[in-house]
Amino acid sequence: RCALPDRCVDCSSGPRLHEILSCYSETFPVRAPNGLPYHLTLRLCLACGSRFADRRQLREYLKTRLPAHATSVAVRDGVLAVAVPQGDEDTGPGKVLFFDTHGGFLSAVTVGELPDMLIFTPNGRFVLTANEGQPMDDYSYDPEGSVSIIDMSAGAASLTDADVTRAGFTAFNSTPIDPRIRIFGPGATVAQDLEPEYIAVSHDSRTAWVTLQENNAIAIVDLTRKKVTIIGAGATGGAM
């Protein structure tokens, strides 16, 4: 069971002498990354909660704040980062939610489609997400894969979308690529077909390596310049 203790999910304020935050709270069953169920309690302060006419409206609003099916979590220096896909079949831009280690909500930012893994860099300067950009089953929509670079300089409680840089692959749509790289989606561009999965970061926090396992490739991200290159990873069809 996971409960957010006395922290408003809208304005992040704690309780004041004239407020009892638990008056505006709801507990929901959610799914953990390992598929096991647990419960999450979301709270609003009186100032934020007073705009709702009844409990039903409050509950429906709080549902929109749920990390319904987190795909990855990481912790550093008292900050918990949670990657959360969004949209039909997880094809919409995802979110990264930040909490303190007591469960208090700090901030949320938008990242690429289907953030499949996130990691803090060793120096704590960035949080990186591998955005898989997986297509719908019928390929009626195929978002682009990418790597999101979240600059933590402002502090986890003050992050906005302006702190996020998207390192994508559109530059490779019109340039030659390593012939070992597998591009196979029906009608897909290179940027649509590349699907980042897992990230490793150098000890000096300057470089990230991202597996593109469906594509037999690896992306190399220069974290100083926020630029990405891709290379093939051996014989096509071989294990990575």
The C-alpha angle 92, 63, 91, rounded to 5 degrees, equals 10
Distance of CA 31 to the CA centre of its chain: 16
pTM of the model: 0.74
Task: Please report the pLDDT score of residue 67 as a whole number.
Answer: 59
Task: Please report the pLDDT score of residue 11 as a whole number.
Answer: 75
The residues facing 92 across adjacent strands are 86
Per-residue pLDDT 10s for the chain (240 aa) are: 444 445 677 776 665 544 444 467 777 766 554 555 666 677 777 777 777 878 788 888 877 776 556 788 888 998 988 888 887 777 889 999 888 777 677 888 999 999 989 999 999 999 999 999 999 988 899 999 999 999 999 999 999 999 999 999 999 999 999 999 999 999 999 999 999 999 999 999 999 999 998 999 999 999 999 999 999 987 544 443
Cα–Cα distance measured from residue 5 to residue 105, given in angstroms and rounded to the nearest whole number: 9
Cβ count near 138 (within 10 Å): 8
The beta-strand segments (E) located in the chain are 2-8, 25-31, 37-43, 72-76, 79-86, 92-100, 105-113, 115-120, 126-131, 146-151, 164-168, 198-201, 207-212, 217-222, 227-232
Cα–Cα distance measured from residue 40 to residue 27, given in angstroms and rounded to the nearest whole number: 5
**Please, which residues have CB within 8 angstroms of residue 133's CB and are 6 or more apart in sequence?**
112, 113, 114, 142, 143, 144, 145, 146, 192, 194, 195, 196
CA torsion through residues 21, 23, 24, 25, sign: positive
**DSSP-assigned letter for residue 143:** P
Task: Please report the pLDDT score of residue 26 as a whole number.
Answer: 76
The C-alpha angle 223, 229, 233, rounded to 5 degrees, equals 120
User: What backbone torsions phi and psi does residue 236 show, to the nearest 5 degrees?
Assistant: -60, 130
